[in-house]
Amino acid sequence: MNNATADNVLVQLADVRKSYFSNRVETPVLHGINLTMHRGDFVAIMGQSGSGKSTLMNVLGCLDTPTSGTYALAGQNVGNLSRAELAGLRNRTIGFVFQSFNLLKRMSILDNVALPLIYAGVARKSARERARVQLDKVGLAEYATRQPNQLSGGQQQRVAIARALVAEPPLILADEPTGNLDTRTSADIMAVFTELNRERGQSIILVTHEPDIAAFAKRLVRLKDGLVLYDGPAREGLRQMQQDDAKDRAMQDTAAEVNA
């Protein structure tokens, strides 16, 4: 269990709101998100299309800033940072894993993993040594000289996980990391995330639309219309979601019968 101390808080959002503006027209997306995540948490975020989960993920990843409210990441108020400071915080604190892997095709697996360190100014030799260690941890050290197109989808996602971990960030943000994978490979990738969380205490926020993937997390956050609908144990949240879906289907069936 995590100790609920200030030093242990990794992510804290207080009344975070986000709107987009086009031709002076405001489109609100997030309507007041409150969320606290402690180090070592494994959180799944779910929500239907338009619920605000992609916008929330961009805010959490310091790719976008709130319109109002506060977001503190590792004790730093994101809203007080310049663009350069924001990029520095993001690079130090967050490792990203994406659905599409985002590996450079003409670069070896080893150099793909080493890239964040090289961008951070680490000497190439040292960066590659640290990259090799991470590849070994995800079981791909023997493929270090291969290029991405010589690996399966599951192997490429393992490379992406190694790249996300190479700078030893306290937080991993995984955006639909199994979206391009089959069921069996998805389970293998989620086993990697589970091991990272349980054995190494890695903090993980996972965005998914698949209940069986969210079930690997300890905690579930469900969004609806830019608000938090549920925040609690994943198992209970998924059970409630299943019940809500059944009620919605029943109401739709009743409406169809009335209109028939």
Predicted local confidence at residue 161, as pLDDT: 96
Residues 135, 166: Cα–Cα separation, whole Å = 9
Note whether 117 and 126 are within 8 A (CB).
Answer: yes
Amino acid 246: pLDDT: 84
**DSSP secondary structure letters along 213-259:** HHTTSSEEEEEETTEEEEEEEHHHHHHHHHHHHHHHHHHHHHHHHHH
Whole-number pLDDT of residue 245: 80
Determine the Cα–Cα distance for residues 106 and 200; give it in Å rounded to an integer. 32
Question: What are the pLDDT digits (tens) for 75-133?
Answer: 999 988 998 899 889 989 999 999 889 999 999 999 999 999 998 899 999 999 999 99
Q: Residues of the chain whose pLDDT is less than 70?
A: 1-6, 260
Residue 13: how many CB atoms within 10 A of its CB? Answer: 23
pLDDT of the residue at 1: 42
pLDDT number for residue 136: 94
Q: Which residues contact 36 (CB under 8 A, 6 or more apart)?
A: 9, 11, 12, 13
Say how far apart CA 39 and CA 200 lie, in whole Å: 11
- Looking at the DSSP bridge assignments, the partners of residue 11 are 37, 73
> Could you write out the DSSP letters of every residue in 58-80?
HHHTTSS--SEEEEEETTEEGGG
